[in-house]
Structure formats: C-alpha cells, structure tokens
Amino acid sequence: MIESGTNIAQDTVKKIFSRFDNLTGQYRKTIEDHLQKNPSIDDSKISSMFEMIGSFRDIAEQLTLHPFRLVQTEAELVKKHTQLIGGTAKRVAGKMSDPVVVPERGDHRFSDDDWSDNVVFDYIKQAYLLNSNAIMELVDSLEDTNSHSHDQFMFYSRQIINALSPSNTVLTNPEVLKKTVSTGGVNLINGFKQFVEDYKKNPGLLNVSMTDFSAFSVGQNVATTEGKVVFQNELMQLIQYAPTTETVNKTPLLVIPPWINKYYILDLKEKNSLIKWLVDQGNTVFVVSWVNPGPALRETGFEDYMKKGALAALDAIEQATGEKESNVIGYCVGGTLLASTLAWLTAKRKKRIKSATYLTTLIDFSDPGGIGVFINENAISSIERRLEKVGYYDGRAMAFSFNLLRENDLFWSFFINNYLKGEKPAPFDLLYWNSDGTNLPAKMHGYYLRNMYLENNLIKPGGIELDGVKIDISKIKTPVYFLSTIQDHIAKWKTTYNGALLHSGNVKFVLSGSGHIAGVVNPPNKEKYGHWTNDEMPAEAGKWLEGAENHKGSWWPNWKEWSTQYAGAQVDPRIPGDRELEVIEDAPGSYVKMRIAEVIKQ
C-alpha cells in the first residue's frame, strides 16, 4: 500500500514538472522569436538565465521525489536553530555560550568583531550560516541529471546563497551600518556614484572595479622590462628583450602567453617578473603580445593563432638570431597552442622547437575545472549565436564569469567595499591586470569551446585538423617540462598530468604550490609555496604525488637546471634590431595597451 502510494505521488510530481517544462519551452520559444526580431539583444545572458532556471527545476524535482532526504535535513536544521536560540538567550542574559556554527576558514565576510561580539549580528550570522550550509549539503547530495550536472547544481545554488548573505546589505552588515551612521550616509552616496561609473564602463554587465586604475600605466609601472617590438602582424607583436648578461644561451627562448588576457602577468614588476628573471639567466627572450581583437578579426581561427602567432614568431626569431630552433614556453591557453603547434610540426616533420615548457596547461579537457559549469551544449550554442552576431566574445563577460567562480572574494567583497562602504579600491597591480581583459575572435573562440572543452578532440589522434593537417599529440617526441599548480581551479593539476602522459618523448612533471597565477609567478627570493618533483611518470596523478619529493621555494631554479641541457653554447648578446629585423617600437608595444572599450568602438 505504501509503495503504491509512493508511486502515485512520484507520478504526480513528474506530471507537474512535465507541465512546467512545457510552459518553460513555450516561454523560451517566445523569447527566441523576440531575439530574432531584435538581434542587438545579448541572448547569451538569457540563455544563462534559462540554464539556471533549469538547474533549479532539476533540484526541485529530485528533492520532491526523495522527500525523506528533505525531511531529514529540515529536522536537523530545526534542531540546530533551537540550539542557536537557546545560546542567544543565554548571551542576552549575560552568560557565555559557544557558537553553533562558525564561518569556514578563509571566509572573510564576517571578520568584523561585531559579527561575534554583538548578540544580534551574531544571531543573524549564525542563522544564515546554518541555513546556507544545510542547503548546500542537501544540494551536494544530488546526482547528475540528463540536463544538468552536480557541479551546476552547486554553482547556481552557491550564487543565490552568497548573494543573500547578510553581509551584502546595509542594515545587516555591522561594519557598513556603523559607517553609514558616522558619515550621515555619505558612504552610500559615494557608493552609488561608483556604481554608476562602473555600470557606464560595462553597460548590461556589472564588473565591479577591483583596483584604482589611475595608479597604473602599462609600460610605466607594469610591463617595464626593457625591450623592443621587432615584428608584428594583425594578430600579434613580438617583443625581443634587451640582454643583461655578458653572454647569452645560443638557443633563443620564446614565451607564448594566453590570449584570453594580457602577457604582462609575467612582467608585473621587476621583483616578481618571470620575463626579467629569464633574461637575467642569460636567455635571449622573445614574448608574443596578442592583439585585442574587435569585429574586424571575426574570421580569425585557432589555426591562425598557430600560423600568425607561434609559427610566425619562430620565423621572426630565426631572422633575429639566425637560430632555426627555439625553446618555447606556453602558459595556459598559450600552452594548448604550443602543444597543437608541436603536433603540427611533428606531422610536417619540421624541427623548430628544441624543448617545450607547459605552464598550467590543459591538453586533456575531460575535467575543465571550475569553468565546467559553463560547458554544455546549450551554453556553447548560445555563445556561438552571440559570436555570429557581433564577431567577437567580449572579454568583460569572460572576466565576470571567472570572477563568479570565487564570487565572495572577487565580486561581493568589492561590492561591499565600493558600493556600501563607498570606499575606493586600493591600488593592486595583479587586480589591475585581471581587469585589463581582451576580446576573443568569433571563429577562434567558437572552435576552441566546442573542439577542446565540449568534445575534447585534442587528445584524439586526428581529432583536430590545423592548416590541412590532422594532428596527434601522442606523436610528439620533443622533450617537455610540465608545470602545474596544486590549487589550480582553472587547469586542475591531475588533468594537466593526463596531458603530460600523452607525449612520447622525455617528460618532466613538476607540481607547484598555490594556484593558477601565484604558483607560476613565484620568484625564488620569496621562498614561497614550494614544489614537488618525481622522476617517474606513473599512469595515475595520485601515484605520482605519493612518490614525489617536496622542495621549499620556487620551481624557477628547477626549470633552469632542466632547461640548461637545451640552452646551447654561450654566444655574444643579441641586441634587438641588430640583425634582419628592425625595431618597430619600444616594449611593451602598442597592442598590449589596447583596452576593450577602445577596440569595440573602432
């Protein structure tokens, strides 16, 4: 009888959600018809909204079909709230009481003393944490569905929960409330002015200012390593840096940065500049500085980044130094391009790269890290439609999406500081770089999302074709150095390890502490984070780490020791412009100074 009743209830629930799906489908069709008549509207935002609604629909259905799970969570939550009320009553009576729940380590939202010392705000904080923890634990217990993944459930739920944090409103944030009273509300007036300024910079998408932009100037106090632009085409400028040693390594060194942001993350300031350090180790260093593309480059594809980027740079370096082979470093997406270029050169039986270094690089995209919540057929199809309309992917939208992967640190903390407290963000070179984004050409970005992230074609022999050649990563025999970072949420280290295993030549894998940026930009003089090495390459990443040796400090000296065998003999320093290539302009060049708003207006 009970089983029969349960089946009837589940059938009823399924019918209700089926009707909801029909209504949603009708609504979606109405919206799509409207979009066709109004092509200027950014339909990717509407698609994101439907993705979120669909995810919450799946969550509701699972919870409705498993009521005991929900009842158990509710019972436990009521118990904890009863404890909280009792503890609060004790504090009101002047007695001590231990908290029922405390913020997780690293949660800075409730760092002000009043969140603990003031009984009212302590109750608000704990009640919020009890509710949010219960919801997230409940959502975490759910499984994937046909239309949405567990990671999407967690991501969308987290966005709503963190948006509703009491720290994000004036009356329930003690720090903001005190400032509002002390300034007579001037902080809110100043905050509103800053909100309007930020919105004008990014109409339709609120990217909160993270730093004082007026404090930095590219070429003046960031990207200051001395050099010259010696080659350029419509896609990139090639910078050759001035030597600082009496002799240099015979084999030149090319750095290919990602094109989703600007190269000077590797040259923020002298004391932590990887580029400056590479020059000081006796290398003739060349760096690709990608253009910030607008609609005019809509037909630029991934293979153009290989031909007009990596291959063009190698040809220019040969003209500048007389050397046909170079050692090459690829960072993030630049590393993915480096792997593709190496595979293409291998298929063409051309030897242009003596050694390759990958920094936090995905070749196997089976686990795309945090951005996996945005990788699905619906989302990518929506982006492709937007790309077709405007010809490029707006880098500000990408920055916003990446910031939502760490929303409390990279969005809400600045929301509170700028708009509620009315304070100006502090100067910070890293956040200045983070806000200095780049657009992506339509053809390239659509190809990259679908072939790499969605279909994972790069690991398939012949899965990717570039300039008429089907490539195969497993055919690469060039010696390679893989650097990954243990806390990387963009290129997870275990997934990058899978990419390292694909290579057929000598492979050295090194794991750094920290994350995608700090683990890479980690100069030796700071003695931070440490790194792991292991001469063996077992089939599983976990086994590699079990047998790895931990070392203090930066991975940079380890790379130098490895790279020496491919550096060649010592030769006289090469001065930019002293051979076949003439100097075009001083580093950092003009391409890196192009900002998104200026490009779009062109």
**Is it true that the peptide bond before 427 is cis, omega within 30 degrees of 0?**
no
Pick from 365, 284, 172, 334: nearest CA to 577: 284
Residues whose CB falls within 8 Å of the CB of residue 202, separated by 6 or more in sequence, listed in order:
396
- The token pair at 110 is 């409730």
Residue 266 main-chain phi, psi, to 5 deg: -90, 5
Q: Is the sign of the CA dihedral 277, 280, 283, 289 positive or negative?
A: positive
C-alpha span between 518 and 511 (Å, rounded): 13
Q: Are 280 and 215 in contact (CB under 8 A)?
A: no
**Type of residue at 308:** K
Q: Which residue has the tokens 């949420």?
A: 489
In our burial notation (b when 16+ CB lie closer than 10 A, e otherwise), range 552-578 reads ebbbbebbbebbeebbbeebeebebee
Q: Is the sign of the CA dihedral 310, 358, 324, 344 positive or negative?
A: negative
C-alpha angle 123-126-127 in degrees, rounded to nearest 5? 80
- The token pair at 94 is 């002047």
Pick from 161, 162, 178: nearest CA to 170: 178
- Show which residues are catalytic: 332
- For 356-400, give the DSSP string: EEEES--S--SS-GGGGGG-SHHHHHHHHHHHHHHSEE-HHHHHH
Q: Which residue has the tokens 């209700």?
A: 16
Query: Measured between alpha carbons, how far apart are the two ends of the chain, in Å?
Result: 71
286: β partners: 240, 254
**Longest CA pairwise span in the chain (Å):** 91
Q: Are strands 480-485 and 549-551 parallel, antiparallel or unpaired?
A: unpaired
C-alpha span between 314 and 348 (Å, rounded): 15
C-alpha span between 189 and 180 (Å, rounded): 10
Q: Is the sign of the CA dihedral 429, 433, 434, 435 positive or negative?
A: positive
The region that residue 590 occupies, defined by phi over 0 for left and psi between -120 and 50 for alpha, beta otherwise, is: alpha
C-alpha span between 330 and 336 (Å, rounded): 7
Q: Are 182 and 398 in contact (CB under 8 A)?
A: no
C-alpha span between 152 and 138 (Å, rounded): 14
Task: Please state, in angstroms and as integers, the Cα–Cα distance from residue 213 to each residue in 217, 386, 429, 436, following that order.
Answer: 8, 29, 9, 10
